[in-house]
Chains A and B, each alone.
Chain A
């Protein structure tokens, strides 16, 4: 009945991770989740952490939003400067990149 395979080193480590995941590691995993498949242990650890950690949950929502913004740009759904409400002027030099109301630093 006992599994006769040697204990996988990843298992202990994985369980340890589940029990001790910290916020910086959690957000890193959230971030990784957009770029690769998380290991099941990582996924469990992250899920457990997020249950009890509001700030990390918020962070996940914000990373997700950034990701959505990125994929909108990727799909060309947000063709920035010449949107429908921008005045249709053909000079490419007049890029509206100088945001009027943002002082450099407070």
Chain B
């Protein structure tokens, strides 16, 4: 007899599932969606789906990994439903505001971006950076946030993001560019200030 997995692999106990993973799932959702209630909904849906489809869990992957996989689908579903679902004229995605007045009319720098002054590896170890990152990401306008999260935090392939949000590649490109500009602008304001 070879019982490789000590805990019954195919029928997770709901209580146990909650206790073991709810917090981590919540934290994961929280990084991607900024409304607290929304995170709770998505996590609950995930746990529910997990219980319903417990037989698809083959025990090969970690339970946590499996749950995160479900959660990611739930998050994509959310964006799919909530997507503004139309080609907004690009001017509506922030217009000139979208590029934050960084460029002048000739397309050159009006205000030059600051030097962040640390090696990237160091920055990514800074707690303050991550706090500011969280803050700034949650401040992105929804049209930008949805595609930014799907693309950069979820690593969803570009075409897939276009499909989920029902937008053209050009529209995605503009949104991503603006999201990145806004994010780094916000970081400059909220994270770099204590130094310099």
Contacts and interface: CB of A to CB of B under 8 A. Distances in A.
A29 B172 CA distance: 13
A79 B130 contact: no
B108 interface: yes
A62 B28 contact: no
Interface in A72-99: 72-74, 76, 78-82, 85, 90, 92, 95, 97, 99
A64 B124 CA distance: 12
Contact of A67 (B28, B131, B152): B152
B31 interface: yes
Contacts of A69: 124, 129-130, 133
B27 A82 contact: yes
B158 A35 contact: yes
Contacts of B28: 76, 79
A36 B169 contact: yes
Given A82-B23, A92-B23, A95-B30, A59 B130 contact: no
B120 A65 contact: yes
B177 A99 contact: no
B27 A81 contact: yes
Contacts of B130: 69, 78, 80
B127 to A, nearest CB: 8
By secondary structure, the A interface counts as helix
Contacts of B115: 58
Contacts of B153: 70, 73-74
A23 B116 contact: no
A70 B109 contact: no
A79 B30 CA distance: 10
Interface stretch (B4-12, B52-60, B180-188): B180-188
Interface string A29-69: 00110111000000000000000001110110111111111
B154 A74 contact: yes
Interface in A15-36: 22-25, 27-28, 31-32, 34-36
Interface of B: 22-24, 26-28, 30-31, 36, 68, 99, 102-103, 106-109, 112-116, 120, 123-124, 127, 129-135, 138, 151-155, 158, 169, 172-174, 176-177, 180-181, 183-184, 190
Given A23-B103, A28-B177, 17 more contacts: A24-B107, A27-B181, A31-B177, A31-B180, A35-B158, A55-B113, A58-B116, A63-B180, A69-B124, A69-B133, A74-B155, A76-B28, A76-B68, A80-B30, A81-B30, A90-B23, A92-B23
Interface of A: 22-25, 27-28, 31-32, 34-36, 54-56, 58-59, 61-74, 76, 78-82, 85, 90, 92, 95, 97, 99, 102
